[in-house]
Chains A and B, each alone.
Chain A
Amino acid sequence: MILVENLRKTFKVREKTGGKTGFSLKRKTRKVHALDGVSFSINKGELVGYIGPNGAGKSTTVKILSGILVPDSGTCVVDGLVPWKKRIAHVRKIGVVFGQRTQLFWDLPVIDTFDLLGEIYRLDKMEYKRTKDRLIAAFGIEKLLPVPVRQLSLGQRMKCELACSLVHEPSILFLDEPTIGLDAVSKLTVRDLIRKTNRESGTTVILTTHDLDDIEALCPRILIIQEGRILFDGAIENLRRKISGERRLIIDLKDSKDRITDSFVTVIEQNGPRVHLSFDPAKIHPADLIKRIIENHPVMDIFVENPPIEEIIARFYATL
């Protein structure tokens, strides 16, 4: 579906030199390698999370994939087309949502944007109506359609944005921080809709986000980019294993004065009766460890946990 090989892109950044006033005729330009040989491939129907710090090259990649930018070198084929060579044919097949910008007409009801998009994508009347009705039902936005966009809440608007980006039934959907600024409930709704779109329509989804909960909830596979290079490509589980095999055990003790000491565990913290432990499952099987602890301490409750994804990614960056 998407094949990217050795993609490179350099930007010239202007720097002002000299002069306290900031006014100078001499201008220095500095080269920034936004992409420094990026390669990956994505199959049809995948849901891939694309993460990395600001300025790592995420949006440059998405812009090249969606045909906005032309790379300096490298190849990129999306669904049989080179995006920047066949812009119009290519963009008919993709949908893009920028979380920080809107494609809806601010002063007009959402339905007007819908209708205009139908015209822009040259959809046949019947076909358009069918897709529209299906999306409205699936997204539950019937009541929002006649409301001017400026009166919608951010969560409502994002649902409409997503629906609008699917009017032409794209085979690939690029989502750039779709949950940014949303409240917890709206975030869950938007995630649900993304998952539904991916599963039910088989839409390939590429999701860039800083919200790692999005990634954990949605993406079986992640790509991590930093300084223009792909540093990790695979399942979150693999990343976990690669970074640390460690697991977490949370135990609620009967007696908050009780202290756990065991050669297989390290105590991370203890808040009253609740103790956070970490252990290596390669050295001791979780079931055996639990048995050992229960034998020696009166216990109310036990949870086994993975270290949170934030921590994994932070540690991953730290190893570089």
Chain B
Amino acid sequence: MISGLRCYWKYLKISLKGQMEYRGSFILQMIGHFFLTLLDFLGIWVLFNQFGKLKDWGLEEVALLYGTITIAFAISDTLSRGLDYCAEYVRTGEFDRFLIRPRSLLLQIIGVEFTLRRFGRLFQGLFVLAWALITLNIHWSLPKVLLMFFSIGGGTCLFVGLWIMQATISFWTVQGLEVVNITTYGGVETAQYPMSIYEKWFQNFFIFIIPLACVNFFPMLEILERPDPLAFPAWMHWVSPAAGILFLIASIFLFRFGVRHYRSTGS
């Protein structure tokens, strides 16, 4: 484990060094990313400016949902961009290279790229979250602070899990991987709004199958001290971010299954 982390750190340094070879491009991309994703939030702002409230949720509250899920997404995106190339590795046979190294495959794939320019989105998320926290009058307590971190951590795990699943599909087919983006990019967009505005089946999908609501909406209800429009018990709001971690573990098992398939078919 320790040695794994050390190895990841080494990968990370090398990846950063590689990106610094093209420093100008990197800085511009990061700034570009910041403004591009900020546009996203401006869209929401315009919406609220026109209609005032969304099922009795104000802009500040939505900004809290938006900020936390965006931060989780940005961290996962920065960490695990390498998984995005998995389909390419499988197609070109480059994946074999990972199999002949005495290390965990996921460590190696994730290690390939630590995408610093994605920090643009992270700063944007932090920016929106800071605004929400300043504007909202939250009664803070230690459990609430911990829940906040738990929510972001759970969300990060969930998204990494989704990237891993997307990578896993590439062991069977290298086409149509964009389908998964419905749950990643689409998921971020979905989780930016309160779950209560969606249809029942859609809510269930994002609670029980891809537990986005568990890592974001439920814990945020507790932090805002709002009643749960879906009527789940309060304890569930406190433990629900763990669903993200479980999701990640499940995805790792799926990935291993995919690797077994790859090694027996060689495709």
Query: With A63-B266, A112-B14 in contact, do A68 and B102 touch (Cβ < 8 Å)?
Result: no
Q: B97 to A120, Cβ gap below 8 A? A: no
Interface flag for A256 (CB, 8 Å)? no
Residues from chain A with Cβ under 8 Å of B93 in the complex: 101
One of B4-12, B222-230, B232-240 contacting the partner: B4-12
Q: Mark A66-108, 1 if CB is under 8 A from B, else 0.
A: 1111100000000000001001110110101010010101111
Query: Quick check: A119 and B6 within 8 Å, CB to CB?
Result: yes
Q: Does A317 contact B (CB under 8 A)?
A: no
In the assembly, what is the distance between CA of A129 and CA of B6, in Å?
A: 18
Cα separation A251 to B62 with both chains bound (whole Å): 93
B97 & A84 in contact (Cβ 8 Å cutoff): no
Is the Cβ of B263 less than 8 Å from the Cβ of A92? no
B97 nearest CB across to chain A (Å): 6
Q: Establish whether residues B18 and A105, one from each chain, have CB atoms under 8 Å apart when the complex forms.
A: yes
**B265 near A: Cβ within 8 Å?**
yes
Q: Are B102 and A12 closer than 8 Å at their CB atoms?
A: no
- Contact of B142 with A by CB under 8 A: no
- In terms of DSSP, what is the predominant structure of the interface of chain B? helix
Provide the bound-state CA to CA distance between A12 and B264, in Å.
Answer: 11
Measured CA separation A69–B101 after assembly (Å): 14
In the complex the two chains form, what is the Cα distance from A67 to B10 in whole Å?
25
Are A116 and B14 CB-contacts (below 8 A) given A11-B266, A63-B96? yes
- Contact residue among A68, A116, A120 (Cβ-Cβ distance under 8 Å from B96): A68
Q: How far is the CB of A46 from chain B (nearest CB, A)?
A: 21
| B199 CB-CB contact with A under 8 Å | no
For residue B17, CB closer than 8 A to chain A, the reply is yes
In the complex, what residues of B have CB within 8 A of residue A89's CB? 102
B96 contacts which chain A residues (CB < 8 A)? 63, 68, 98
Measured CA separation A120–B101 after assembly (Å): 7
Q: Could you say which residues of chain B place their CB within 8 Å of the CB of A12?
A: 265
Cβ < 8 Å to A, chain B residues 84-113: 93-94, 96-97, 99-103, 108
Q: Is B178 an interface residue (CB 8 A)?
A: no
Complex Cα distance A91/B267, Å?
Answer: 21
**Complex alpha-carbon distance, A87 and B93, angstroms:** 18
B6 contact set on A, CB distance < 8 A: 119
Residues of A within 8 A of B263 (CB): 68-70, 84
Select which of A60, A67, A115 is within 8 A of B266 by beta carbon: A60
Complex contacts, A119 vs chain B, CB 8 Å: 6-7, 10
Interface residue? A148 (CB, 8 A): yes
Which residues of chain B from 1 to 35 have a CB within 8 Å of any chain A CB? 3, 6-7, 10-11, 14, 17-18, 21-22
Interface residues on A, range: 20 to 34
Asked if B14 contacts A87 (CB within 8 A), the reply is no
Interface residue? A199 (CB, 8 A): no
A130 within 8 A of B: no
What distance in Å separates the Cβ of B263 from its nearest Cβ neighbour in chain A?
Answer: 5
Mask: chain A, 241-252; 1 = CB below 8 Å from B; 0 = not:
000000000000
A233 and B248 CA atoms in complex are apart in Å by: 50
Cα–Cα distance between A103 and B266 once the two chains are bound (Å): 20
A148: chain B residues at CB < 8 Å are 21
Whose C-beta in chain B lies nearest to the C-beta of A92? Answer: B102
In the complex, the answer to whether B102 meets A66 with C-beta atoms within 8 Å is no
Measured between beta carbons, the chain B residues less than 8 angstroms from A44 are none
Q: In chain B, what residue has the closest Cβ to A174?
A: B100
What A residues does B94 contact at CB under 8 A? 101
A68 to B265, CA, bound (A): 11
Q: Are A88 and B102 in contact (CB under 8 A)?
A: yes
State whether B103 touches A120 (Cβ < 8 A): yes
Supposing A60-B266, A122-B3 touch, asked if A68 and B10 sit within 8 A by C-beta, the answer is no
Q: Is the CB of A116 within 8 A of B102?
A: no
Tell whether, in the assembled complex, residue A112 and residue B17 are in contact, meaning their CB atoms are under 8 Å apart.
yes
* Interface pair B264/A70, CB less than 8 Å apart: yes
Q: How far is the CA of A92 from the CA of B102 in the complex (A)?
A: 6
Interface flag for A121 (CB, 8 Å): yes
- Contact among B3, B17, B100, B267 with A96 in the assembled complex (CB-CB below 8 Å): B100
Min CB–CB distance B265 → chain A (angstroms): 7
A-B contact pairs, 28 of them (CB 8 A): A60-B266, A67-B100, A68-B96, A68-B99, A68-B100, A68-B263, A68-B266, A69-B264, A70-B264, A84-B263, A87-B99, A91-B100, A91-B102, A92-B102, A94-B100, A96-B100, A101-B93, A105-B14, A107-B18, A107-B22, A112-B17, A116-B10, A119-B6, A119-B7, A120-B7, A120-B101, A122-B3, A148-B21
Question: Given known contacts A107-B21, A120-B103, what 6 new A-B pairs fall within 8 Å (CB)?
Answer: A60-B266, A68-B266, A87-B99, A101-B94, A106-B18, A120-B7
Q: Closest 5 interchain pairs by CB?
A: A119-B10, A92-B102, A107-B18, A88-B102, A68-B99
